[in-house]
Amino acid sequence: MKLKDLEKHLKTHKCEMKREGGNHTIWENISNKKIASIPRHREIKNNLVRKICKELDIPPLI
């Protein structure tokens, strides 16, 4: 999955970018204050996308 598609999904479910680290971007679900780190690659594997959605407590994209 493309990183841009994942970012759109996160934004539609009230998540925002909190900060950027060395190789990852930290996203926070503002409704429940859960945090997940997302690697900065063009393509992200589907299993990782599911894990990120689960960590942020939002519906899975895939």
Q: Does domain 3-56 have CATH number 3.30.920?
A: yes
Q: What is the pLDDT of residues 23-54, one digit of tens each?
A: 999 999 999 999 999 999 999 999 999 999 99
Q: Where are the domains of the chain?
A: 3-56
**pLDDT tops 80 at residue 62:** no
Burial per residue of 36-51, b for 16 or more beta-carbon CB atoms within 10 angstroms, e otherwise: bebeeeeebeeeebee
Token pair in block for residue 30: 């503002």
Q: How confident is the model at residue 61 (pLDDT cuts 50, 70, 90)?
A: confident
Whether the Cβ atoms of residue 35 and residue 28 lie closer than 8 Å to each other = yes
pLDDT of residue 27: 98
Whether the Cβ atoms of residue 42 and residue 56 lie closer than 8 Å to each other = no
Q: 58 versus 62: which is more confidently predicted?
A: 58
